[in-house]
Chain A
């Protein structure tokens, strides 16, 4: 009986540690390797970052700031971690979100719109305003 209880405590402790490490890890790092291999179908499309800027202003700016500088618990999207991430990785993060870290899933947006946002995100640079501004 004691052995069972001890095993249960160890297992529960292990799960809690594993859970906390999952929560602490950045969503970009949690994306599976295969996601990074997916290419952006809108790569090279001149309209994509402009449309992405418009979608970013509507869907993301409230938390991440108008220029992606971050705010509150929402991380800055101008970090090199984001701009250097593979488009497929960013797409994976947008699709799945990071629910336990407060980032919702944006899977309700059609796939092409998520790719447009990804295209825009890759234009964001640290300590600079957005390279692309949404049309008014």
Chain B
């Protein structure tokens, strides 16, 4: 190829990339604008990143959230795992969620790692001192996934340090079940999750747990619409880890983390969360930082139906 042609091709490529970057930027602004215009509601299930409570999504509401995780494991490169969550309240007792996962690792690559589809069913119709919820999830991710939305079996440092080019070849098509138990006691939220996961190929059942406690800084709401009042902040702590497999159940060679959490809800309902996590065993990463934002679009289903010409709404 002549130098002139090469230069021409290079200019075209730069132009194309510029257009693509412009389109992405424009789309981001449109999405951000739509978020501000759509009716909002209080988002999130408290400040937890890993632990589920028995709070369900309100029927017809759509919550969009990001859950990101960054860390630099010993012997590995710094990474950023990101999961984008779309949570919809089908019924007051049934919430469904779709997660789309990706990650970027310094000095390696950025890649889409797969998706998860989960459903939560509230078992008892009334509030009790302890409230069970059944959780069923199908995940189709690859071994390079670093969102660490749960720790099961013997998950550990190896999963975070394996090179993307190698890890992405491992397919993880898994069914995961959780028993969620949670309670609200005098302003405190206390939740316990028991996890069982099975790769649908011939792999053992893996087990894990997550426990969380949280509380808002103030239980009484102020009359004014405010951003920095204490009622808008929730603090808590999560502890989670693996419990081995059915062949080797227990704490041997498993990872465990303790993670203080902070959630801050803005006046428009958007919620920001941050949670530094500290590894408790030799197989855990020493330090992980989680952060995320969530926004709930109230009565998204009704708005969508209206968009398609059906004025009838349902709750």
A interface residues, Cβ below 8 angstroms from B: 47, 50-51, 53-55, 58-59, 62-63, 71-74, 95-105, 107-108, 110-113, 116, 134-136
Q: Is the CB of A99 within 8 A of B225?
A: no
Count the A-B residue pairs with Cβ separation under 8 angstroms: how many? 103
Residues of B within 8 A of A135 (CB): 223-225
What residue in chain A is nearest B125 (Cβ atoms)? A99
Q: Dominant SS at the A interface?
A: helix
Q: Is the CB of B219 within 8 A of A110?
A: yes
Those 10 A-B pairs whose CB atoms lie nearest each other, nearest first: A72-B313, A62-B298, A50-B223, A102-B315, A110-B219, A99-B92, A73-B315, A51-B221, A112-B220, A99-B93
How far is A58 from B122 in the complex, measured between Cα atoms in Å?
23
B73 within 8 A of A: no
Q: Is the CB of B61 within 8 A of A62?
A: yes
Q: Give the number of residues in B that approach A within 8 Å (Cβ atoms).
A: 41
Q: Dominant SS at the B interface?
A: loop
B interface residues, Cβ below 8 angstroms from A: 39, 41-42, 45-46, 53, 55-56, 58-61, 89, 91-93, 122, 125-127, 184, 186-187, 189, 216, 219-225, 231, 269, 298-299, 302, 312-315
How far is A104 from B56 in the complex, measured between Cα atoms in Å?
8
Which residue of the partner chain, among B127, B187, B220, B224, contacts A96 with CB atoms under 8 Å? B127
Min Cβ gap B233→A in Å is: 13
Residues of A within 8 A of B315 (CB): 63, 72-74, 101-103
Q: Is the CB of B219 within 8 A of A72?
A: no
How far is A47 from B221 in the complex, measured between Cα atoms in Å?
9
Q: Is the CB of A51 within 8 A of B223?
A: yes
Contact status of A54 and B225, CB under 8 A, knowing A59-B41, A112-B220: yes
- Given A99-B122, A99-B125, A105-B56, 20 additional A-B pairs, CB 8 A: A51-B223, A54-B222, A54-B224, A58-B41, A58-B42, A62-B39, A62-B299, A74-B315, A96-B126, A97-B92, A97-B127, A100-B92, A102-B91, A103-B92, A103-B315, A104-B59, A110-B219, A111-B219, A116-B220, A136-B225
